[in-house]
């Protein structure tokens, strides 16, 4: 059975305002990118045109055409770019470089996310004089992900200070970003790209972005980047940062997560996280069960 795509119709005689989105991935994550795009389309606003810019490292022309044929319709426009010779983790930095003179702003999305809300609300956020909008990384600050830094022989606060990040609670997650390229100089982007040749960063491009935009970020509500945390990590969050916990709990209690981010272990690898059922509901709705097979202990869903 072919995979399902949610088709919406609008009056083609009307000129619609445009919303730009960038997604970046390699062939390994191509199917996950399709699921992500499915969720974008399903929640699209018929009053907007959505231009999805696709940046990859190793997709063939035929594979890119398949994506275009599947999603390029009605108020959805797909733009494929030539494969970029870089590590996949650095693709979003190259996307920023390529789009800097093409768009006034764009939403960058990791492909391990699902959208549950119209993105125009995020896209039209007033950033003030800031260069980007992003969410605080609760994984680093509150639920133990900083142990990754410790494994590299460093105290995580000292490490962040070495990057010029004076307040660790202002470290943002780069999985969902609203970029305003017109507020970023070309020289800054060139310096950012030059950083990709070094091996001194633990969280790679995320650290680079935090280094350059530490004091130029507008912090978004966590509903725009809601982590798929396990109950254990939620309890850690409650102990470490009661304020963040209250924000996170409010999102859960009101079912108001606009974007769910499946950080760390993925749902098809292991049942881990309070939103795994939403992931598999999306898989079923998109008729992609053959791609994302549930672990044997996932039978409850």
Q: Cα 275–277–281 angle (5° rounding)?
A: 120
Take residue 150 and report the two structure tokens written for it. 């410790």
Predicted local distance difference test score (pLDDT) of residue 174 = 97
What are the pLDDT digits (tens) for 9-45?
334 435 789 999 999 999 999 999 999 999 999 999 9
* Residue entry with tokens 């702003």: 105
Buried b (16+ CB within 10 A) or exposed e, 27-64: eebbbbbbbbbbbbbbbbbeebbbbbbbbbbebeeeeb
Confidence of residue 81 (pLDDT cuts 50, 70, 90): very high
The number of helices, as runs of H, and strands, as runs of E, in the chain is: 12, 10
Could you give the CA distance from residue 45 to residue 175 in angstroms, rounded to a whole number?
Answer: 22
Predicted local distance difference test score (pLDDT) of residue 294 = 64
What are the pLDDT digits (tens) for 235-289?
888 888 888 899 999 999 999 999 999 988 788 887 779 999 999 999 999 999 8
Between helix 91-99 and helix 186-194 the angle, nearest 10°, is 160
DSSP result, 159-213: HHHHTT-S-GGG-EEEEEEEE-GGGS-HHHHHHHHHGGG----SSHHHHHHHHHH
* SS3 call for 131: coil
- The residue among 150, 75, 93, 73 whose CA lies nearest residue 159 is 150
Domains, the chain, in order of start with CATH, read: 18-289 (3.90.550.10)
Which residues, at least 6 apart from 36, have a Cβ–Cβ distance to it below 8 Å?
23, 109, 111, 112, 113, 114, 115
What is the Cβ-side half-sphere exposure of residue 108, based on CA atoms within 13 angstroms? 29
Radius of gyration of the chain (CA): 19
Most confident of 97-101, 154-158, 296-300: 97-101
**pLDDT above 80 (res 8):** no
| Secondary-structure percent of the chain, ordered helix, strand, coil, rounded to 5 | 40, 15, 40
- The residue among 214, 216, 217 whose CA lies nearest residue 225 is 217
Task: Report the pLDDT averaged over residues 127-154.
Answer: 77
| Residues belonging to the chain | 301
Confidence of residue 82 (pLDDT cuts 50, 70, 90): very high
Take residue 161 and report the two structure tokens written for it. 């200070």
**pLDDT above 50 (res 78):** yes
Mean pLDDT in the chain? Answer: 87
Confidence of residue 150 (pLDDT cuts 50, 70, 90): low
Type and span of the H or E element at 25: strand 18-25
**pLDDT above 90 (res 169):** no
- The residue among 39, 50, 51, 49 whose CA lies nearest residue 11 is 49
What are the pLDDT digits (tens) for 188-205?
999 999 999 876 888 899
Q: In what order do the strands lie in the sheet with 259-261?
A: 113-115, 259-261, 226-227
**51-55, 66-70, 293-297: which has the minimum mean pLDDT?**
293-297
Q: Work out whether the CA dihedral 256, 262, 153, 213 comes out positive or negative.
A: negative
How many percent of the chain have pLDDT more than 70? 88
Report the 10 Å Cβ neighbour count for 134: 26
């Amino acid at each position: 059975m072919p995979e399902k795509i949610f088709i919406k119709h609008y009056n083609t005689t009307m000129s619609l305002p445009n919303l730009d989105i960038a997604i970046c991935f390699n062939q390994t994550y191509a199917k996950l990118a399709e699921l992500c795009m499915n969720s974008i389309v399903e929640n699209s606003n018929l009053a907007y045109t959505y231009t999805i810019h696709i940046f990859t490292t190793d997709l063939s022309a035929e594979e890119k055409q398949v994506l275009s044929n599947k999603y390029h319709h009605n108020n959805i426009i797909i733009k494929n770019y030539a494969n970029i010779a870089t590590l996949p983790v650095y693709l979003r930095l190259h996307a920023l470089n390529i789009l800097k003179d093409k768009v006034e702003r764009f939403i960058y999305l990791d492909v391990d996310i699902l959208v549950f809300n119209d993105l125009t609300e995020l896209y039209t956020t007033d950033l003030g004089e800031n260069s980007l909008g992003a969410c605080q990384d609760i994984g680093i600050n509150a639920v133990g992900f900083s142990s990754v830094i410790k494994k590299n022989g460093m105290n995580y606060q000292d490490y962040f200070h070495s990057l010029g990040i004076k307040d660790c609670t202002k470290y943002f997650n780069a999985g969902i970003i609203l970029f305003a390229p017109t507020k970023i100089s070309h020289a800054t982007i060139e310096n950012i790209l030059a950083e990709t040749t070094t091996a001194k960063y633990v969280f790679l491009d995320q650290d680079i972005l935090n280094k350059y935009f530490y004091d130029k970020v507008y912090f978004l509500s966590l509903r725009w980047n809601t982590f798929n945390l396990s109950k254990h990590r939620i309890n850690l969050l409650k102990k470490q940062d009661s304020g963040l916990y209250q924000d996170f709990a409010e999102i859960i209690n009101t079912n108001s997560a606009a974007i769910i981010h499946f950080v760390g272990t993925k749902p098809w690898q292991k049942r881990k996280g309070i939103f795994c059922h939403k992931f598999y509901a999306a898989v079923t709705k998109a008729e992609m069960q053959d791609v994302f097979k549930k672990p044997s202990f996932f039978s409850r869903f």
